[in-house]
Structure 1
Amino acid sequence: MRKSAEEIKREIAYKAEQLFSKTGYAATSMEDICEVTERSKGSIYYHFKSKEELFLFVVKQHTYDWLEKWAEKEKQYHTSTEKLYGLAEYYVEDVQNPISSTIEEFLTSQVVRKDIMDEMIALTRESYSIFKKLVEEGMASGEFRQDDVNDLMYVVNGLLAGLGPLYYEMNAEEMKRIYKKAIDVLLQGMAAGS
């Protein structure tokens, strides 16, 4: 049975993600991608106009997988406070994923086309809905004080994303401890009655 164009595209992206994660964006050539996917350049360029577009597709897949996995993981928590701690731990797990450092390399080590950069920024905003929902639920349940939902959404995002570079200097257990402490401090400021 022949594979659909979408199946081929996902297969190329999956194998390319493994390669990008292993060698980095800049060190991965189209020849390397051809070799690992067992496809010709023409076949790859049929599905992706450039290495940048292939990488963007990889990042999209990673983002949507991350969101789906969080939706499943979130079900094990009962309160917004528990969800916030769980989300912090989930962030630590994701920062350990090699594709995360490859994304950082991609964004900081070269000139990225404006349309690609706009899409990358839009992908980072995909998680906003998670933070906003979590804050709204916490306010509705009385766990968090009433405040501007969007402001708190940005604070939660900034806190979790901002601690990510600790990956370069700490192991996962130490990072989990720092992320937990960060949530402790954040909850003191968000607690109802504060």
Structure 2
Amino acid sequence: MKKRKREGEQTKQRIADKAKELFSQKGYAATSMEEITEAAQTSKGNIYYHFKSKENLFLYLLEQSMMDWIEKWNMKSTAYSSAKEKLYGIAEHTALDFAGPLIKALEEFAGSQLADKLLLEKANEIGMLPLHSFRSVIEEGMASGEFKQGNVDEMTLILTGFMAGVGSYYHDLTQEELLALYKKSVDIMLYGMAAS
């Protein structure tokens, strides 16, 4: 029984890995279930056993990607000795994520007229997973006195807005330019933009 379950998990992961490659190369809409079936060397029935639909498969990949982002950030964050350093670090971590393979496919999925409202809500929910990491940095900064006391929820949303807003320019900028823009956004968040 354990062997069968392990084989099932391996099959599911193989399907996910091949689908991620295809979505990253071709985009969400241009990738068919037939192509995923062929790439994963499995049957359509096997894919539908593990994933209800192409949309559910994509959401699974998106969630895996976000959990990977969080895990990598949690490991990186231990290298920083202050909340300010962590704020710059999480901005860099976010900037590098916009070079990730699923970003274009995600934009296409989110903009799809075909996507079910509940699936779009689930995609949005998954996209909000990093908020906990942003919130943690803000709470740490307030607790240590590095940041002014304030409404943590509001500051988390503002930081999220900065990160998402700057990230929306990923296709217009080089990675170096994007990293510099993220650093500048943290500078503005910490020190403002008013002349001193």
Give the TM bin, normalised by the shorter chain: over 0.9
CA distance in 2, matches of 1:34, 1:125: 30
Matches within 5 A, 1:1-194: 2=4, 3-189=6-192
Which sections of structure 2, spanning at least 5 residues, go unmatched? none
Shift of residue 166 of structure 1? 1.3
Tell me whether 104-113 or 49-58 shows the greater mean CA deviation: 104-113
Shift of residue 121 of structure 1? 1.5
Q: Secondary structure at the match of 1:96?
A: coil
Q: Secondary structure at the match of 1:159?
A: helix
CA distance in 1, matches of 2:102, 2:23: 7
For residue 107 of structure 2, what is the amino acid of its counterpart? Answer: E
For residue 155 of structure 2, what is the amino acid of its counterpart? Answer: L
CA distance in 1, matches of 2:148, 2:76: 25
Shift of residue 4 of structure 1? 3.6
Shift of residue 111 of structure 1? 2.8
For residue 49 of structure 2, what is the amino acid of its counterpart? Answer: Y
CA distance in 1, matches of 2:104, 2:92: 18
- Summarize deviations over 1:29-72 as a string: whole Å, max 9, x none: 01110111001111111111111111111111111111111111
Shift of residue 110 of structure 1? 2.7
- Summarize deviations over 1:115-163 as a string: whole Å, max 9, x none: 2122112112211111111111101111000110000000000100111
Give the aligned CA root-mean-square deviation in angstroms. 1.2
Shift of residue 177 of structure 1? 0.8
Percent same amino acid at aligned positions?
44
CA distance in 2, matches of 1:45, 1:117: 20
Shift of residue 16 of structure 1? 0.7
TM-score scaled by length of structure 2: 0.92
Which sections of structure 1, spanning at least 5 residues, go unmatched? 190-194
Shift of residue 11 of structure 1? 2.0
For residue 186 of structure 1, what is the amino acid of its counterpart? Answer: M
Q: Count residues in correspondence.
A: 189
Correspondence for 1:192: none
